[in-house]
Amino acid sequence: MTTTSSGSLGSILELVRSGRARTRGDVQALTGLSRSTLALRMTQLMEAGYLREAGQIAGSAGRPAKIISFDESRQLVLAVDLGAAHAHVALIDGGGLILMEATSSLRIDAGPDEVLRYVSRRLTELLARSGRSLSEVAGVGVGIPGPVRFTTQRPNNPPLMPGWHDFPVAQRLSDVLGLPVFVDNDANLMGLGEARARYPDSPSVLFVKVGTGIGAGVILHGQAERGVSGGAGDIGHIRIMPAGQGRLCTCGAVGCLATEASGGAVARQLMEAGIPASTPDDVARLVAENNLTAIELLQRAGRLLGDVLATSVALLNPAAVVLGGSLTASGGDRLLEAVRETVLARTVSLANRELTIARSILGSDAAVQGARHLVIDQTFSPSAIDARFEQLSANA
Ligand SMILES: [Zn+2]
């Protein structure tokens, strides 16, 4: 092993969290710290409750080494997944166990004041019902169905969310709850959850959410790539229809992918064909009931989506394209098949030979699991941990 770490408290925790160091010996080899300095720092991290020793590995020589691990279960996260018409809130431990959750109807277009007041009330209730205390919660992670400028933690021109542009979402919730709050696009969080759970060693994973709208999360080396203004992965507003054709989109343009291939678009197309459907869930139900018009429209949506995704596959050469969102919930195999056929027909084998195109395994939990990773990554980053210990020693 070569020395690759600064050896600060935060960077030692990072070595253990990432799985690169499993014993004191590993930490010593990776940091080059002296035995006494290392012993002091390990004691500080254990006393703070971040690390613990559990089990032993039999060494090739001498006494067995104790395994050190990040004590995930002691860190709790409040996770929020806001869709166009629903709110899913969950209390999750750092290891991913959902301790308590609730889902309810909530219209995001009611505006930030009303929605965030409702969300903070639900989170407070959830924590009270669980019998856990605020001091056990590391932070709150929130996914919203629109682009987020990550540096400011504010929505950036979200088409489905009138009144939310540049609203201080994280600040507002943090003021009410007294916890650190992190906000990201929902497809980014779903992609993060899915990539960490299923493709942890893959350099790139593309997650596509097909619900009321269409959005994608680009996960590179285990982290969401957000682009310069939070717009990375916003494929729903690529214009796919020839000039003069297509529908007016919520973004103000005409003929976007979302106006033709989203769950909302397919529901509208069904209504126009005289079949009652108003939500992506209605579409999924009709497909599961073998309604031929619904199946044809879903397959058309899959081909249009596949056309756009073929370019993304050629650009990224991802290990996986994962489809999630309410349109993929039931009857989603037909959508998946149409996407797969189109992507494979339009890309070269170098780009698609090792490509998996699959449905989300986390389903409706993908976003809250991603929110958990976001909060743990942010609150346990080396710089955040070093800053916390500096604060502690300044107060001592
Ligand atoms: Zn649009």
pLDDT tens-digit series, residues 128-181: 999 999 999 999 999 999 999 999 999 999 988 999 999 999 999 999 999 999
- 215 CA from centroid of ligand 1 (Å): 11
- The residue extents of the domains of the chain are 9-73, 75-189+367-379, 199-365
- 188 CA from centroid of ligand 1 (Å): 19
- 240 CA from centroid of ligand 1 (Å): 10
- 339 CA from centroid of ligand 1 (Å): 20
Nearest Cα neighbor of 308 from 319, 321, 298, 296 is 321
Give yes or no on whether 9-73 and 75-189+367-379 have one common fold.
no
- 249 CA from centroid of ligand 1 (Å): 5
pLDDT at 1: 46
CATH topology of domain 75-189+367-379: Nucleotidyltransferase; domain 5 (3.30.420)
Q: Which residues pair with 220 in a beta bridge?
A: 204, 223
Q: Is 9-73 assigned to CATH 1.20.210.10?
A: no
Rounded Cα distance, 258 and 38, in Å = 54
Nearest Cα neighbor of 378 from 230, 223, 247, 232 is 223
User: What would the CATH number be for the domain defined by 199-365?
Assistant: 3.30.420.40
- 195 CA from centroid of ligand 1 (Å): 27
Q: Which residues pair with 69 in a beta bridge?
A: 52
- 257 CA from centroid of ligand 1 (Å): 7
328-350: burial string, b at 16+ Cβ within 10 Å, e else: bbebbebbbebbbebbbebbeee
- 377 CA from centroid of ligand 1 (Å): 32
Residue list, CB under 5 A from ion ligand 1: 237, 249, 251, 253, 256
Low-confidence ranges of the chain (pLDDT < 70): 1-4, 58-62, 330-332
Q: Is 239 in contact with 256 (CB distance < 8 Å)? A: yes
pLDDT at 351: 84
Q: Is 72 in contact with 136 (CB distance < 8 Å)? A: no
- 236 CA from centroid of ligand 1 (Å): 6
- 244 CA from centroid of ligand 1 (Å): 15
- 238 CA from centroid of ligand 1 (Å): 7
- 255 CA from centroid of ligand 1 (Å): 7
